[in-house]
């Protein structure tokens, strides 16, 4: 879906649609006898930043793997842009850009080579000129254009995270799924990441689903929060609803985890 | 932005070829193989004799040398070149987690498996073609000249007959190599760790002998092809259909396996 640029405000106007961009319906996933996800359901609307919260082992990465089609749910389904991830994975994948777990690249290539290689896998970038242009655009968005021609194995974790976001943006997807993008970043890196995510929402009209343990950061950027505990969704609502009577997201989260 | 209807095979092949040829190990394996081709040429010049199998020797000349160049090189190909390339391509990037970057894109994973097979096939095909060309040119320059020669099963042949035999020989050899790449893809589907995948492929080559005599061609490629082309009967008579079955089986198992597997790495 095309996003329209509001020239007066310099921001993207998100067209109102009948259906949410992401619909997660009753997803259950078991591995051997262990239930990793149990009947998880929630929606993410177009243009939102949605925080996915939960303690270690709660099922966040499993849910992200299901959303990106890396694993199949035992029951339930995920619809992205109206396409089922289970039955129409390639259609659904065209709407998604993602970092799943840590940002791992082909280490024998430079940052630019990695992006140009992956750009070949997008139907909306059919010719070389379009691919080069898009690679330069995404490198500029994440401010990696000056280090793009160095081998990935020389990059710091922060640079790898930014390159991870660049590869996620390659196909100009409506939805970005970022799994623990702040892992290993120093305070400056975390701040830059926060600003980048907000820019992606406001300037480029992206919908972002971000999982993180950094509750302060999520409080600053998220419109909606989903909390998962032991594979079950225990909360889905606006940031304000989550915080409620508490002093902040952290207090609300701790209470939710301990009761 | 228009999402388009699908990624073309050309772009899938280019993407895979970039990954294969950016690995230093690919170049190292190819260069080592080429050095062995040249050393084997030197060795044949000194020996002037080779073997169809353990019982039949043959004096080499300018017309019959090319197929015999592959005799020892096929062992290098089946035990080192193909297992290393297949373990890296089908297992390495899966094991490291880097292939996730490709797997989450709007592309068919079955096609991705076939493209990996195709790109490795083109690389191994290039090395096989180089071996044939080196053998043909080297024989014309360095081996005793002949206007006629006798080849197993083909009888006495002239220049064109010998050329046709050597092309047929290398063509069947390439099919064997392609089948082994397919086996590598299936093995790496089960054990993506490149070291374990490498060992697994060797285990299939050696273990095949215990399953059926008809699978001996994975171990002694040139003997089996000489027997197959020479129509000498025995277990190698079934080489043609076994190769077809192996290629089809690997294509089906590999494609379905990649479409349906859970990507936990």
Q: Measured between beta carbons, which residues in chain B are less than 8 angstroms from residue A69? A: 103-104
Whether A35 and A71 map to the same domain: the answer is yes
Residue at A130 is within a domain: yes
- Is the minimum CB–CB distance between B158 and chain A shorter than 8 Å? no
Greatest CA separation found in chain B?
68
pLDDT at B215 > cutoff 80 = yes
Mutate to test the interface with A, among B6, B101, B264 (most CBs of A within 10 A): B101
Contacts of A82 (CB under 8 A, 6+ apart): A19
Same domain, A61 and A32: yes
Global confidence as pTM: 0.89
Query: Do A200 and A248 lie in a common domain?
Result: yes
Q: Show Cβ contacts of residue A76 under 8 Å, excluding neighbours closer than 6 positions.
A: A24, A25, A26, A27, A28, A39, A40, A41
Total count of domains within chain A: 2
> Is residue A161 domain-shared with residue A224, that is, in the same domain?
no
Q: Closest chain A residue to B109 measured between Cα atoms? A: A90
- Return the pLDDT at B82: 97
Same domain, A119 and A48: no
Q: What are the tokens at B107? A: 């592309």
Does a structural domain hold residue A8? Answer: no
**Do the chains contact at B101 and A167, CB–CB below 8 Å?**
yes
Judgement on whether residues A90 and A195 belong to the same structural domain of the protein = yes
Nearest CA in chain A to B25: A108
Q: Return the closest-CA partner of residue A184 out of A119, A99, A115.
A: A99
A139 with A168, same domain? yes
What whole-number distance in Å separates Cα of residue B170 and Cα of residue A123?
38
**Given B1, B15, B100, which is nearest A100 (Cβ)?**
B100
Instruction: Note the ipTM here.
Output: 0.87
pLDDT of residue A2: 41
B168 near B229, Cβ under 8 Å? Answer: yes
Nearest C-alpha in B relative to A98: B104
Measured distance CA(B14)–CA(B35) in Å, rounded: 27
- Domain check: are A164 and A122 in the same one? yes
Looking at residue B78, its pLDDT comes to 96
Same domain, A78 and A189: yes
* Chosen domain end from A123, A155, A172: A172
A181 and A259 part of one domain: yes
Residues 6 or more apart whose CB falls under 8 angstroms from that of A195 comprise none
Residue A161 is part of which domain span? Answer: 103-172
Q: Which of A142, A172, A202 is the last residue of a domain?
A: A172
Question: Is the CA virtual torsion A64, A103, A105, A175 positive or negative?
Answer: positive
Test the B interface: residue of A78, A117, A171 with most B CBs within 10 Å: A117
Residues A37 and A131 in one domain: no
Hey, are the CB atoms on A72 and B262 less than 8 Å from each other? yes
Neighbours of B195 (CB within 10 A): 12
Give A 22-51 residues with CB within 8 A of chain B. Answer: none
Under an 8 A CB cutoff, do A104 and B11 touch?
no
* Residues A90, A111 within the same domain: no
- Label residue B1 by pLDDT band (50, 70, 90): very low
Would you say residue A215 lies in a domain? yes
Of A182-186, B63-67, B139-143, the one with minimum mean pLDDT is: A182-186
Which of A91, A95, A117 is closest, CB to CB, to B19?
A: A117
Q: Which residues of A touch B96 (CB under 8 A)?
A: 104, 107
pLDDT one-digit tens code per residue, B129-153: 999 999 999 999 999 998 889 888 7
Question: Would an 8 Å CB–CB cutoff place B259 in contact with chain A?
Answer: no
């Amino acid at each position: 879906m095309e996003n329209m640029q509001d020239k007066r405000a310099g921001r993207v106007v998100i067209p109102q649609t009948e259906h949410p961009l992401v619909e997660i319906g009753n997803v259950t996933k078991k591995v051997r006898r262990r239930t990793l996800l149990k009947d998880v359901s929630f929606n993410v609307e177009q243009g939102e930043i949605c925080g996915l919260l939960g303690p270690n082992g709660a099922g966040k990465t499993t849910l992200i793997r299901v959303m990106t089609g890396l694993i199949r749910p035992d029951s339930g389904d995920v619809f992205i842009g109206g396409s089922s991830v289970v039955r129409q994975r390639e259609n659904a994948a065209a709407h998604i850009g993602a970092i799943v777990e840590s940002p791992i690249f082909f280490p024998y290539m430079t940052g630019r080579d990695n992006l140009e290689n992956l750009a070949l896998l997008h139907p909306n970038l059919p010719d070389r000129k379009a691919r080069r242009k898009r690679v330069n655009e995404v490198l500029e968005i994440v401010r990696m254009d000056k280090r793009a021609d160095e081998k990935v194995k020389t990059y710091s974790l922060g640079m790898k995270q930014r390159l991870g976001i660049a590869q996620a943006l390659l196909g100009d997807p409506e939805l970005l799924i970022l799994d623990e993008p702040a892992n290993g970043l120093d305070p400056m890196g975390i701040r830059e990441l926060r600003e980048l995510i907000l820019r992606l929402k406001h300037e480029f009209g992206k919908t972002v689903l971000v999982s993180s343990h950094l509750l302060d950061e999520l409080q600053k950027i998220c419109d909606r929060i989903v909390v998962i505990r032991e594979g079950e969704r225990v909360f889905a609502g606006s940031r304000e609803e989550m915080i409620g009577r508490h002093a902040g997201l952290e207090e609300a989260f701790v209470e939710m985890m301990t009761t | 932005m228009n999402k388009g209807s699908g990624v073309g095979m050309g772009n899938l092949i280019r993407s895979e070829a970039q990954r294969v040829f950016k690995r230093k190990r690919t170049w190292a394996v190819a260069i080592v193989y080429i050095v062995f081709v040249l050393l084997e040429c030197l060795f044949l010049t000194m020996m002037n004799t080779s073997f169809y199998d353990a019982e039949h020797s043959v004096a080499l000349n300018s017309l019959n040398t090319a197929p015999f160049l592959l005799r020892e090189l096929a062992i290098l190909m089946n035990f080192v070149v193909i297992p290393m390339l297949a373990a890296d391509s089908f297992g390495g990037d899966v094991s490291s987690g880097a292939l996730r970057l490709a797997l989450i894109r709007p592309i068919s994973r079955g096609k991705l498996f076939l493209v990996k097979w195709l790109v490795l096939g083109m690389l191994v095909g290039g090395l096989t073609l180089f071996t044939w060309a080196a053998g043909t040119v080297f024989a014309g320059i360095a081996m005793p000249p002949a206007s006629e020669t006798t080849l197993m099963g083909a009888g006495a042949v002239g220049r064109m007959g010998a050329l046709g035999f050597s092309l047929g020989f290398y063509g069947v050899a390439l099919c064997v190599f392609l089948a082994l790449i397919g086996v590598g893809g299936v093995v790496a589907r089960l054990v993506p760790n490149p070291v374990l995948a490498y060992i697994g492929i060797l285990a299939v080559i050696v273990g095949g002998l215990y399953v059926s005599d008809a699978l001996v061609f994975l171990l002694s490629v040139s003997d089996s092809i000489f027997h197959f082309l020479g129509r000498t009967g025995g277990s190698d008579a079934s080489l043609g259909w076994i190769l077809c079955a192996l290629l089809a089986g690997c294509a089906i198992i590999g494609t379905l396996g990649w479409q349906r597997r859970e990507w936990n790495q």
